Structure 1
Amino acid sequence: MSLSGCGSGSDAQASASSLQFSFWGSSVRAGLTTKAVQLFEQSNPHTTISTWFSSFGSYWPKLATQISGGSAPDLIQMDMRYIDQYVRKGLLLDLSKYIPQTIDLHDFNQPLLKGSEADGRVYGVPFGGNFTSMFYNTTLFEKVGYQLPTGFNDWTWDEMKQVSQQIVKAAGPGVYGTDDASSNIGAFEVFIRQRGKELYTPDGQRAFNKQDVLEWFSYWSDMRRAGLCIPPDLSVQYSGATPALTTIVAGKAAINISTSNQIQAFQAATPRNWDCIQRRPQRV
């Protein structure tokens, strides 16, 4: 979470009686966040916080529209991929000068804090860790007798292709091994990091090469041709905008690559048995 960089410290204090907080997520997250805000207001009775939230995809256009209209939220949930962009535009407040006297972060996870930095300065306080994970239908995996490793990084893309072949054969028509993750930036980042690379250099340049991209899209092209991943028409139908619109919840695919904070939403959306393995956080 970041503070918008509108005004000086004295300006912020003067307007602290009423703050606006924007965030993205499901209704489950919204409920939990609202409870946290209410607890804060009880402890700080002279401060009120209004909130708005939306899905991740619609959050950024809505936030950009609000900022361009001159009414940026005071508290902004920020994705680490957007921090540099917002900092360059002068939209986020540098919190470094408030640490550690006003903001004490000594007991925070230091690698997570790094995700809130730009040019060595702190622009936010992390809510928590969120990792690219592979959700899978345990019933289908048990049906083919496949035992997954305990960590995402211990599993290869060829092994995912192999188990997809087994699942498609065992489950019959209409069920696929996996979603088509060719456009999933989180999955692509796992693929790149498994090659000892990052998506971007510290100065914001591309850190992967054309061969990496060619091999990534060739993999998914092969999966589509073999009927192992969701075809394009189903990818459009099950956009993933909500848990109900994911192929794993609908029973169309055995594997879905998503983020770990979707666990509760997936659980609430389907009675099917499923589990997930997380990609280990790593910095190279």
Structure 2
Amino acid sequence: MIRTDARSARALIAAAAVLPLVVTGCSAGDTGGGDETVVLDFAWWGDTTRAERYEEAVTLFEEQHPGVEVRTNFAAWGDYWSARNTEAASGSLPDVIQMDLAYLAEYGQSGRIAPLDEHVGEQIDTSALPEGLVEATQLDGQTFAIPTSTNTLATIVNTDLLGELGVEPPEGDLTWDEYDAFLADVAEAGADQDPVVHGSVDYTQALWLFQIWLGQQGKALFDEDGALGFTKDDLAAWWGRAAPLHEDGAFLPAERLDQLEGVDAIGAQETAADISWDNFLVRFSEGSGGADLEMLPLPADDPEQRGLFLKPSLMLSMAAGSEHPEEAAALIDFITNDPEVGEIFGISRGVPASSTALDGFEPEGLDAQVVEYEAALEPHLTGSAPPPVAGFGTVETAFTRVNGDLAHGAVGLDEAVDQFFTEAEAALAAGS
């Protein structure tokens, strides 16, 4: 785990100071009225920029709840879930954890995280959240997470770099073939650059984009029974788009993507476009030195069937074994609804789901672009987020890993499809 230095030292000192109190026990309902200190552990995934924002928000929470100390830690996505799985096995999950839709059913149905319904209307206010958003975090009618933000996918293009290459940015609705042709034009124009500029990274590696593409075909990632909702032919058609784009340089080579681990290719200006989460716009701009980035709708062969949906992007859940559920619920509410927290995060974690958090700041520049992009999509939200089925996280991991083997030439297309189906069906069967 990684901690920001200043708070790491403070948290360690505070933890040592209150350890005897934790051992002897504290009142779960004591938020500062007594002499004892309640200690909460809070974990999330993300980069150091997200960590800095969370640390600032936690400091505000502690100032308003002087009897509560929050110990924090964070890690990259893969390391984060490895750590949570280890903790869950021993019943030692942090009191509050950042949750993703892919793992909600796995953690909720296994009793690793607690239903929050008894805290809704008490410590947690959901009245400022969009209608229907909380329902997306429910399992069998119980709420297991509170969404702090929403996001969706967008086509992000570096218009400054396109200008240098002499390539016109796409205009209007593009079919998938037209988008691929645009990426090929970028690669041709960028072949003599140093570094070489490609169209984009391999977009077929993203399970969430595959879900949208399936929605455009009238299909879904999972069916009503929690099984795969698509065929091997569907996956072969999707993954099969990549080979010609790798061959002509439209996609960044897989080996180069490995070397850029931790660095966004569009931020490094080695690609001129990327299909990614809309709230990454700010991060991409910062990485590219403030280049002018523009968000465009995703490709769709039928503009009336875009398969788009808003995803509860970052959610917060409570460990089932938390000894301080009321204080943990109060922290969840604060991170979700507080206007000052909204100002601290801006759009970096997605568009704030809570209207009170959004009221905490006036979106400007890139933040305003993200808010406007999601607002403009409202008439086109014809799809829905995949249901939180048990095994979803394992399916996503398998999708990315097998696709990576395909991109590196370690397996052929048919073998990759068969391998994914074998692993995905086993994961879903184990979770049912």
Contact 1:140 1:167 in 2 (8 A): no
Residues 154-163 or 270-279, more deviating: 270-279
Q: Which of 1 and 2 has greater Rg? A: 2
Q: Is the counterpart of residue 250 in structure 1 residue 260 in structure 2?
A: no
Amino acid corresponding to residue 167 of structure 2 in structure 1? V
CA distance in structure 2 between the aligned counterparts of 1:21 and 1:213, rounded to whole angstroms: 38
* Structure 1 segment 134-283 matched on structure 2, within 5 A: 134-142=155-163, 143-149=166-172, 154-173=173-192, 174-239=196-261, 242=262, 245-271=263-289, 272-277=291-296, 280-281=308-309, 282=381, 283=383
Number of residue pairs aligned between Structure 1 and Structure 2? 267
Q: Per the alignment, do residues 273 and 251 of structure 1 end up closer, same or farther by CA in structure 2, a change over 3 Å counting?
A: same
| AA of the residue aligned to 2:188 | K
**Ranges in structure 1 where 5+ consecutive residues have no aligned partner:** 1-9
Q: Does 1:28 align with 2:63?
A: no
Structure with more of its chain in helix, by fraction:
2
Deviations 1:36-67 (A, max 9, x none): 11111111111111111111222111211222
Which whole-Å deviations, capped at 9, do the CAs of 1:75-112 have from their partners, x for residues lacking one? 01000111011112111111123333442212201243
Q: Deviations over 1:109-137 (max 9, x none)?
A: 12432332122211111111122232221
What's the CA shift for 1:72?
0.7
Q: In structure 1, the residue corresponding to 2:274 is in which secondary structure?
A: strand
1:129 is paired with a residue of what secondary structure?
strand
* Cα distance in structure 2, aligned partners of 1:253 and 1:247: 6
Distance 1:215 1:12, change over 3 A: farther
1:225 CA drift (Å): 2.2
Deviation at 1:268, TM superposition (A): 2.3
Residues 68 and 23 from structure 1, CA distance in 2 versus in 1: closer, same or farther, beyond 3 angstroms?
same
Aligned to 2:116: 95
Taking the aligned partners of 2:102 and 2:178, their CA distance within structure 1 comes to: 29
Task: Structure 2 unaligned segments of length 5 or more: list them.
Answer: 1-25, 32-36, 299-307, 310-380, 385-432
In 2, the alpha carbon distance for the partners of 1:39 and 1:203 equals: 44
Contact 1:112 1:128 in 2 (8 A): no
Query: 2:106 — aligned with what?
Result: 85
Per the normalisation by structure 1, the TM-score is 0.85
2:46–2:77 CA contact under 8 A, matched in 1:
yes
Q: Percent identity?
A: 27
Of 99, 106, 121, which residue of structure 1 is paired with 2:142? 121
- CA-atom RMSD, angstroms? 2.3
AA in 2 matched with 1:276: M
Distance in 2 (CA, whole Å) between partners of 1:111 and 1:263 is 26
Give the match's secondary structure for 2:102. coil
**Using the alignment, how far apart are the partners of 2:259 and 2:171 within structure 1?**
29
Q: TM-score, normalised by structure 2?
A: 0.57
Q: Of 29, 40, 54, which residue of structure 1 is paired with 2:61? A: 40
SS at match of 2:296: strand
SS of the equivalent of 2:125 reads: coil
C-alpha separation in 2, matches of 1:131 and 1:25: 18
Q: How does 1:54-69 map to 2 (within 5 A)?
A: 54-69=75-90
Q: Contact 1:41–1:48 (CA<8 Å) still a contact in 2?
A: yes
